[in-house]
Structure 1
């Protein structure tokens, strides 16, 4: 049997076992419900219409009608103006709760009546309208054109210039940054899920002595490679299903309205860094899991690897945004164990040159064969050890 055929058969067996496992199906369904529910909840909160301000305007203060409408539009407020009210009717409606405030008196210094403490939003709105009305009246009394002057005043604004070569916060695309952080979360989940599946599978076969039967027909490295590839396909498929469910739900609920999102580019980035991170971390997990013979001992060998994933994940989340051009950030983002988590964030913040990304990928590709050799060496020498936990140094020395 050729190497490719042996690895392929083991990978297919691993995928069939994992995809049909009840625990896998139930956990995937629960996570999908949680993801969809969270997005629906966000859409409900963000799509809640702004409360319409109910304001009454006295007959003698009708000059503020247009100014109030313009001020509401400028402040992004929704205003329902009840005009033509007498003083008695306006105050009665305030006390009855039909309107929130009643404006009366001189347009230059009106009175605003409330049933209780004044509403800050309404007072700001009325204040802006009174200011604009007074300015327009003064311009008209001086023989000028109020509309022309008000347009010139509105257009008068300073233009900021950033002399720094580094991009400012306003130059960054929030959708790109948020999607990058989301992808990092999916990446971490997929790698931990893959590592867990590989470790559990290795120990199950070792403790049940099934591995002894399998190794009668194929080599240890072929068995390990098949298990790693099969588990990786399962984990990546699960992540893609989650990402697709999230995207479809977001589009259906209108959460992404007004934003441009490169779904193809996001998936490509997820695939690239998942494959590299998977090869860097999970191959080692498969070898280290062979050092133990009981499920209870898996944590002793997988915990250091999980911790090794969490460190670069948090560096990508916290270090890169605050010091994207620091020497430590640039150096660590080139290290194979750190680059899958740190380089995507540097790309999102626009601080990684193309050659830096290419170099990070190349270093990962050069480092992977060495890690595969170590993982295969440890697995091949430890998987048939049925005694207590085997030391890593003993497995390496043989």
Structure 2
């Protein structure tokens, strides 16, 4: 019977919060922003990959440079297309051509000191490739003239570079790589969901006190049942937001093909995000719901929600700045076991591959063990404060034994 009452209150909250016009419009806007943002990111990420090749004309007199140009362009990662010209006189005409036939530069003259003709300003990458190719050609000619082996000489020259060794492990994660982007999106979504859900609970509690609706409700149900139903209903709504928006982000990334460049398991990351949302929501919803009963007017709600917002923003910003720089530091490992820090730090550490199974299990156990204590505190404060009228009730008075 008690569970039926709680579920009845939860359904009322779901219907009230989820089916309003403002909620539907805001959710639609956020979905559009997330999907559009992913496609914009995909555009900028792949724009260079689809850039047309740079076309360079090579007159017959410098055809000996072609092989060296191809090698130099490959070393620079330059997409270079060489176009053979029958005569040096064709250079100016080829540069002024329009459309796909236009060339960015034309080489002619002596291969050891060619002339590079351009329409306006030379492209730095092309100029560098040409300079490298000319040097390679000259070296080959000189080595051959001295009776040496040009291939062996170039191999020895290529190896004559300093060998760089880093003291950091080779598999250390890139601080601002894909793992950083995925983890920051996750904890930002988590922060948004927790703030939104907690604020709705707090405003709902105070609204019912102000309108005296709570007195009618408590004539038929217990205060703990009312609080539990409210938290359950708004929690389902918050879960719906997380799954919908997180799923839209994962779907958009998969649709654009950005997952090919990611070394992060998006499915596992989303599942872990949902798990920590449930735990984080249970922790903060109890605090928001219980402490909101201490005030009787909407104007006073900030006095109880501000400290709770502080408890949300501090873990968020510490996670953002501490975990990416060193996800396995002693401080991070300790903080990630504290219930208010764990929902933010654990998903990010997992994205960076710095989370061991025993740490996840221990953090879950500590957080779950904390929830019954918070249930006791929230229920006690709510029972004492929800029927209190007048000025703000002190937390110490609400925690005292007995009922008013």
Same fold judged by TM-score > 0.5?
yes
Unaligned runs of 5+ in 2: none
Q: Which of 133, 139, 147 is residue 137 of structure 2 equivalent to?
A: 133
Equivalent residues of 2:6, 2:225 under 8 A apart? yes
Q: 1:6 to 1:159 in 2, by over 3 A?
A: farther
Task: Name 2:112's counterpart in structure 1.
Answer: 108
Name 2:241's counterpart in structure 1. Answer: 238
Matches within 5 A, 1:1-398: 1-2=1-2, 4-48=3-47, 49-94=50-95, 98-138=102-142, 140=144, 168-169=172-173, 174-397=177-400
Q: SS of the counterpart of 1:82? A: strand
2: distance between equivalents of 1:243 and 1:55?
A: 47
Query: How big is the shift at 1:138?
Result: 4.9
Deviations 1:33-74 (A, max 9, x none): 111111121222222222432322121001111222232233
Residue 78 of structure 1: how far off its partner (Å):
2.2
Tell me, yes or no, if the aligned pair for 1:167 and 1:350 is still in contact at 8 Å.
Answer: no
Q: Which runs of 5+ in 1 are unaligned?
A: none
In 2, distance between residues paired with 1:150 and 1:247? 48
* Aligned length in residues: 396
TM-score for the superposition, normalised by structure 1? 0.89
Q: Partners of 1:162 and 1:125 in 2: how far apart?
A: 29
- Distance in 1, Cα, partners of 2:284 & 2:345: 15
Deviation at 1:111, TM superposition (A): 2.3
- Tell whether the 8 Å contact from 1:343 to 1:357 is kept in structure 2 after alignment: yes
Whole-Å Cα distance in 1 between the matches of residues 140 and 251 of structure 2? Answer: 50
Shift of 1:114: 2.5
Matched residues in 1 for 2:218 and 2:183: separation? 42
In the TM superposition, residue 308 of structure 1 has moved relative to its aligned partner by 1.1
Distance of 1:377 and 1:85 partners within structure 2: 92
Q: Secondary structure at the match of 2:58?
A: strand
Cα 1:319/1:371, change in 2 over 3 Å: same
- 1:179-230 residue CA offsets vs partner (Å, 9 max, x unmatched): 2221111111111111011112212222222211221222111111111111
Q: Structure 2 length normalisation: TM-score?
A: 0.88
Structure 1 counterpart SS, 2:83 = strand
Is the partner of 2:225 in helix, strand or coil?
A: helix
Question: 1:41 and 1:165 mapped to 2: Cα distance?
Answer: 34
Q: Check the 8 A contact 1:190/1:235 in 2, yes or no.
A: yes
Cα distance, 1:261 vs structure 2: 4.5
Instruction: State how far apart, in whole Å, the 1-side matches of 2:176 and 2:122 are.
Output: 39
